[in-house]
Structure 1
Amino acid sequence: MNRAVAAIAASLTMLLAAPAAAAAVPTDLTRHAADAVAGSSVPAPAAIERQAVTAQLVSLASGAIDPSSRLSATVTATNRSAMPVDDVVLELELTEEPLADRAALDAFLAEPGSVPSRLAAQLPEPPDEPADQVSSAPEEGGLASDDEAEAPETVGSTIAAGAARTFTIGASPDELGLPSGRWGVYGAVLTLRTPTGDVPVDVLPLTWQGSAVPELRLAALTMAEGSSAATVLGASNVPGVASAVDPTLVTNALAFDSGLVERETWRLASGSPDLTSLARAEETSLMELALSLPAGTNLASIGRAPWLAAPAAIDAASTEAAVALGARATLALPDSAGYAQLVETADAALARDGDALVLVPDPGLSKSLAQFRPGTEAAKARALAESALLADEADGDPVLAVLDDSWRPSSSQPSAVLQTLMTAPWVEPLPVSELLEADPVDVELPANVAARADMPAEDVAALAGSLERLTTLAHATTDTDAARADWGAALLRGVEVSLRENPGVRDAAVAAAVAEADETLASLRIAESSDLNLLAETGEIPITVVNGLDHDVTVRVDLTSFSPNLQVLESPTVTVPANEEHAALVRVEAVSSDNVQVSVVLRSPEGQSVGDGQTFAVRVRADWGNAATAVFSVVLVLLLVAGLVRTARRGRRETRAEPAPAPDTAPDRDSENDDPYAEGADEAPAGPERTERD
């Protein structure tokens, strides 16, 4: 039994110690696992559940090597079992020949085993085999003794049970066997070999700079819109990288934090409206709205930046609409309809159809930058390799890479992949504005592409009609632009380009947008009123204006009489604060008694009708008023006369003199004594003194 175990151990050790054989004929398990890793979208290609050991590439000194540099890769291996694992060896294999082009690079990454490779380095390094070592075999028919059956020297490392171990494999270009005097992109495979099976670590390209790589004039553009705009702006804060951004999402703080004030910046239509559907419906008012919404920052370099159109289809209808709306150029994104046909006719970064300039990004580089195993060392290595091979293909022509909404950076920190790409020795960053000055390739775009996915024309008309009414209402507010922006943004949600692939959701979004617009329009109204009475030749009719909006409004109350028996003398203008109501008094004149129907509407200062009108009746009884006035006047006159009479009588009584008291009666006397003043008579009786009057 011991001999059998020793023989098995010796066989496994010999397999691990034979790098040439392992390189020439790799095991099916290694190739199968490596291929599975290459085709996976997850970053760490390390874990196979039935194996006790997993491994992951944690750092790579550089994906591009020159004669003065050294390859260095660090791998962390973890033993999840309860037993130690011995004889663990990390191997690096390189393709025997450089990969010819980007198609070969894609094929290698998809299936590494399809390309011949060789062992370039291993850790631990294999022991030197003595030159005079002679293999001894037992005599014919005999058995080897225990001493003769010694196991070969162990060359691998040991990973303790439940522990992790770090391997750093390094080699110079000479040790890797890289040729001098020429450059190339080689495929590399890292594998951890253990007695229980091979553990794939990573598959990635390495760019060798044995000579100068051709220069690549590269314009890089990122698109920041939607909920991920802040993260995208932060991740694209790399020198040489331009950004196209929805300006309504940019605040002053974000602009400074993401370096927009120092970078080339382009503007996108707010809300990502479906330009293609709007253009084919010949209704672009919603696009005009999206372009007029105020920026979230007061930096002119962002709010007034030139804009780039990004239609869902690359056709004449879309590009002509973009030109009419003032777009500097149209972006032909790789996922847009008509892109493949465009590339077939114009293998260049800039094309032209009439007056329309079309920016054509490279699909391979754009996709790999945005989606290839983000956050891994392999992503940086592929960006370098792809750009080097692309530089050879471009032959000095400019190239455009666009990272659209498929790029989902996990952090707002500057992207390591973009930093690696833009600082590559052979990459010459090119501003998008300079690319637009290059000589374009003339093309003739088809009139319409992928029309079946367009929004129905009646839906476009419904949204445009709602926008027109909201714009009229906005003119009645004290801040027209702010009100139009607030209310119009809801309509843009019904025409987002992302809804083209889901008509059911789009229909619901359109219905919700129109309903919200109707609710806003109904928020400014005239309060319902019962019939009114007018009992005089002139008077005022009260009209209550209800403002349920979040903006102050100034409106003219326009009352119309449907009978000549009631004349409207004036239409007052009133200002109603937000979420309040106000009674406006309309002066009218009655010509004759009648039951008159009147209507009242609210108008903006420009005279346009806003909100729904109201109709009610006014009972005009001017003769009743005259009779009542006459009776009232007579009553007043009578009351006045009565008051005067009463006042006169009271005055006469108060001015009449009171009578003097009667004199006392004297007793009878003799005649001679009749004269009270006669001599000898008694003294005259006391009484009031009298004087003679004229």
Structure 2
Amino acid sequence: MTTSRRPGAVVAPVPPPARPARVLVVLLLLLAVLTTVAPVVLTARTAAAAPQPGAATVELQTSTPTLARPGDTVELSVRVTNGTDRPLDGAVVDLGVSWRPLTSRAELAAWADDGGTRTAVRQLPSEPVDRLAPGESAQVSLELDVDALGFEAESPWGPREMSVALVQGGRPLDVVHTFLLYAPEGGAPSPVAVSVAAPVTGPAVDPLDADGYDAQLAELTTSGGRLERLLDAATVSGSSPGMSLAVDPALVAAAESSDDADVQAWATRLTGRTPPAPDDTGDDGDDGGATDATNAAASTGAAGDAADVAVLPGYDPDLAAVAHTRPTRADVAAATGGEAALGSSWQRPQGWSLSLAWPHGRPDAATLATGRDAPVDQVVVASGLAPTSDVPASARTAVDTPSGKVSALVADAGLSAALASLTDDADAPTAAEGAQRLLADTALLALQAQEAGTGDLHVLAALPRDWSPDAALVGQVLAALQGATWADVVPLSDTVAAPASRVARHGLPRNDVADAELAPLSVDRLLGTHRSVSAFATVADDPVELSGDVDQALVAPLAVAARKDPVARDQAVDLAVERADDLQQGIGVADRSDVTLVSDTGKLPVKVTNELPVDATVTVVLRPNVSRLVVESRPTVVVPAGTSMNVHVPVRAIGSGDVDLQVEVLAPSGAVVAGPTSFSVRVRAGWETAGTAVVAAAIALLFIGGIWRTVRRGRSSARTTDEGVADAVDPQGPDAGPQDGTAAATPAATRTTEHDTEKDPS
């Protein structure tokens, strides 16, 4: 065999193959080494990855003044805590400030959200920290001479990066990223109006566990509960001008009617009206009118502590789930009509005039289009539709959708995130840290608005549905924001009234379906059932009184909160449809036997039953299968609650023969509420006329025959007068019949019909 090789290449000798025994020895040695070393390596890695029992932290407590000017001294107070199990000794607090102003909100957010140990560029003198035992804390004061920063006279107005670092042995243990707001000589930009809105929604209604819903509502509204915290944050001193609430009316109605005094007290704080006493039902005589008047007065009373309140659609429906079924406008109205389904048992307090739709998360274009068809004033877009440039945009804007323009309130992502962090969680910022971030962010907004010449900027911070705020923290932060010359905290209604922004925004996805949404088939099932129930309920003078409970049951599974428990949601769908079917069985038609009609006209009785708790207005319709019987009209009657009634339907025969009649009972809406059922009619048109003629002819013949007999007998000369003849005695007695052997005929007009023969009484 010839082996080719590259010229100049060196060919290494090929070693002989290893012997099997030698290979086995090498493998055994390698296995022994791995068995000895591997546990050591794994133990070392595990120890390195094990979390520390605690950490040393630093927090910013105060920073004054808020706006630093040349010649000022900024005083900072920080709190150092030793959360480790070892003493903290030899630590210092470093203060750092960047000379460069922040010009982008993206840069500002990156610095604020940086959880690392990066510090500001320029470091100032440090302050030592006294020795801290495990679990101990200490306050450290820092002073910043603004002139020492070396800012020039023409240095721009605005925020700078500032860091407060806890350092030990040259290694930062914890760093707070905050901001220094610098103002050279001269005025600040025009203020930015900031509104803060939080949805007030509760758990999903579980029809199989009513007690569980009541228990959750009690937990949420008691001291420390999420709903109680929301109300506290909206009413705490200093935050009420801008902390607006968007409430679910079904939640408020449930709280007002609760047997729990604490839950009722929460509702009273929110609405400003006292629920009626449990025994004040108005069922007895004049007391009912007095109670109705009292409730009507209370329903229009002043709102409670939370003065700026908007109203969501009842049961807080998931607009995305509705949108992704391609609903009609009527379907959208049904899905968002939960407030109307509450009926007269609940009315909005005076001042709750603004209505909002609030889709979950970032809506797609289809969802926003659905909001356009909902009976609301504005659609809140909590995420998405950010401006395409650094030019700030007011919250209110018109958004193009497949169904046309929608008036929307677009939340500011940065402000929303900053306020959403104001909770009682361990990682929540302090009041000073939260305030400095919002002050820096709004300052940058004000600067950008001034540079763009937009002016009159109204922005919105929208909080998530599960937000559980620290009310005191929210109050301090919003009070600091209100005190700034470049920001005003305003009610949501002010932002709604502001001019719409025309700034270009990024678009929304056309169709983005979330896994947690209710399946389209289930949504269609609920909405289709709602349509049929609405049509059926028109039999009542007050349709809501009849179908309100069922309407609520059909809307409740659409709630955003129902996303958390899909199994319970599916059960709620089934139960709601069953309840709707049961309601629609309340009107019926009794079966009847066949009928014979022997006259040209008549009235056929149809027995209608009403098992509903209200009087029912219905129309009875007969539909013959052939034209020999004509139905003259469709009578409309009111069948009292819990009774049955025969409804007489006028008909006219134009020929003889058998006719099958289909019976339907219609609601005023035109919907079929009973039937169709059927029965047969044997039409014998003309029988009555023929029978009458025969009887009349017989009577005439008998009459003529009697006259003929009388004439024929005549007056004989053998007869005597009464004076010449003695009283004759009838040998057969006075009751004897005619002696000529004939029977006296008594004419009678008779009519013979078959079983259940019907004739016009006239």
- Deviation of 1:479 (Å): 1.7
Query: Aligned partners of 2:380, 2:413: CA distance in 1, in Å?
Result: 12
- Deviation of 1:385 (Å): 2.8
Query: Aligned partners of 2:328, 2:649: CA distance in 1, in Å?
Result: 43
Determine which of 71, 76, 81 is the counterpart of 2:76: 71
CA contact (8 A) 2:416 2:462 kept: yes
Query: Aligned partners of 1:185, 1:447: CA distance in 2, in Å?
Result: 33
Match of 2:199 in 1: 224
Query: Aligned partners of 2:148, 2:241: CA distance in 1, in Å?
Result: 35
Query: Aligned partners of 1:530, 1:418: CA distance in 2, in Å?
Result: 77
- Does residue 1:245 correspond to 2:220, yes or no? no
- Deviation of 1:217 (Å): 0.9
- Does residue 1:405 correspond to 2:406, yes or no? no
Query: Aligned partners of 2:608, 2:472: CA distance in 1, in Å?
Result: 57
Write the letter of the residue equivalent to 1:224: P
Write the letter of the residue equivalent to 2:499: A
- Deviation of 1:370 (Å): 1.2
How does the TM-score come out when normalised to structure 2?
Answer: 0.55
Match of 2:178 in 1: 205
Query: Aligned partners of 2:391, 2:518: CA distance in 1, in Å?
Result: 29
- Does residue 1:361 correspond to 2:408, yes or no? no
CA contact (8 A) 1:120 1:176 kept: no
Match of 1:285 in 2: 330
Match of 1:129 in 2: none
Match of 2:313 in 1: 269
Residues 467-616 of structure 1: pairs in structure 2 closer than 5 A = 467-483=530-546, 485-493=548-556, 512=574, 515-516=577-578, 519-520=581-582, 522-526=584-588, 529=591, 531=593, 541=605, 543-547=607-611, 553-560=616-623, 562=625, 571=635, 573-577=637-641, 580=642, 582-584=644-646, 586=648, 597-605=660-668, 608-616=670-678
Distance 1:539 1:235, change over 3 A: same
Query: Residue by residue, what CA displacement relative to the aligned partner does 1:73-107 show, whole Å, maximum 9, x if unpaired?
Result: 34554676xxxx65645642222426743525534
Match of 2:93 in 1: 92
CA contact (8 A) 1:475 1:604 kept: yes
Match of 1:29 in 2: none
- Deviation of 1:224 (Å): 1.4
Query: Residue by residue, what CA displacement relative to the aligned partner does 1:286-326 show, whole Å, maximum 9, x if unpaired?
Result: 33235553374432421x32545658777776666655667
CA contact (8 A) 1:108 1:187 kept: no
Determine which of 127, 151, 169 is the counterpart of 2:140: 169
Query: Aligned partners of 2:60, 2:111: CA distance in 1, in Å?
Result: 24
CA contact (8 A) 1:525 1:546 kept: yes
Write the letter of the residue equivalent to 2:667: S
Match of 2:233 in 1: 235
Distance 1:346 1:374, change over 3 A: farther
Query: Aligned partners of 1:286, 1:272: CA distance in 2, in Å?
Result: 12
Write the letter of the residue equivalent to 2:319: D
Distance 1:106 1:312, change over 3 A: closer
How does the TM-score come out when normalised to structure 1?
Answer: 0.60
| Amino-acid identity (%) | 14
Match of 2:442 in 1: 391
3-state SS in 2 of match to 1:97: strand
- Deviation of 1:378 (Å): 1.7
3-state SS in 2 of match to 1:301: coil
CA contact (8 A) 1:190 1:202 kept: yes
Query: Aligned partners of 1:99, 1:597: CA distance in 2, in Å?
Result: 93
Distance 1:240 1:539, change over 3 A: closer
Residues 321-340 of structure 1: pairs in structure 2 closer than 5 A = 322=371, 328-334=377-383, 336=384, 339=385
Match of 2:488 in 1: 428
Write the letter of the residue equivalent to 2:675: G
Distance 1:178 1:317, change over 3 A: same
- Deviation of 1:417 (Å): 6.2
Query: Aligned partners of 2:559, 2:116: CA distance in 1, in Å?
Result: 41
Query: Residue by residue, what CA displacement relative to the aligned partner does 1:58-87 show, whole Å, maximum 9, x if unpaired?
Result: 88245865657743334554676xxxx656
Query: Residue by residue, what CA displacement relative to the aligned partner does 1:422-459 show, whole Å, maximum 9, x if unpaired?
Result: 43424222444544533622548869723566999877
Query: Residue by residue, what CA displacement relative to the aligned partner does 1:604-644 show, whole Å, maximum 9, x if unpaired?
Result: 245x1343414143576999x99xxx9xxxxxxxxxxxxxx
Write the letter of the residue equivalent to 1:476: V
Query: Aligned partners of 1:374, 1:176: CA distance in 2, in Å?
Result: 37
CA contact (8 A) 1:470 1:517 kept: no
3-state SS in 1 of match to 2:460: strand
Match of 2:126 in 1: 120
Distance 1:98 1:305, change over 3 A: same
Number of residues of Structure 1 aligned to a counterpart in Structure 2 = 531
Query: Aligned partners of 2:99, 2:466: CA distance in 1, in Å?
Result: 29
3-state SS in 2 of match to 1:95: strand
CA contact (8 A) 2:356 2:377 kept: yes
- Deviation of 1:469 (Å): 1.8
CA contact (8 A) 1:245 1:267 kept: yes
Larger radius of gyration: 1
Query: Aligned partners of 1:168, 1:324: CA distance in 2, in Å?
Result: 57
Match of 1:255 in 2: 271
- Does residue 1:380 correspond to 2:440, yes or no? no
3-state SS in 2 of match to 1:474: helix
- Deviation of 1:400 (Å): 1.6
- Does residue 1:305 correspond to 2:305, yes or no? no
Match of 1:415 in 2: 474
- Deviation of 1:227 (Å): 0.8
Query: Aligned partners of 2:181, 2:505: CA distance in 1, in Å?
Result: 41
- Deviation of 1:364 (Å): 1.6
Ranges in structure 1 where 5+ consecutive residues have no aligned partner: 1-35, 37-47, 125-155, 631-647, 650-694
Bigger drift between 531-540 and 511-520 goes to 531-540
Query: Aligned partners of 1:267, 1:100: CA distance in 2, in Å?
Result: 41
Distance 1:434 1:347, change over 3 A: same
Distance 1:267 1:543, change over 3 A: same
CA contact (8 A) 1:365 1:383 kept: no
- Deviation of 1:556 (Å): 3.6
Write the letter of the residue equivalent to 2:78: A
Query: Aligned partners of 2:438, 2:416: CA distance in 1, in Å?
Result: 10
- Does residue 1:438 correspond to 2:436, yes or no? no
Match of 2:18 in 1: none
Write the letter of the residue equivalent to 1:269: P
Query: Residue by residue, what CA displacement relative to the aligned partner does 1:327-377 show, whole Å, maximum 9, x if unpaired?
Result: 54443332x4xx35x545974125445764443332122122214765566
- Does residue 1:348 correspond to 2:409, yes or no? no
Write the letter of the residue equivalent to 2:126: A
Root-mean-square deviation (CA, aligned residues, Å) is: 5.3
Distance 1:49 1:246, change over 3 A: same
3-state SS in 2 of match to 1:450: coil
CA contact (8 A) 1:279 1:317 kept: yes
Query: Residue by residue, what CA displacement relative to the aligned partner does 1:246-303 show, whole Å, maximum 9, x if unpaired?
Result: 344445622239966764443433333426964993622233235553374432421x
- Deviation of 1:241 (Å): 2.8
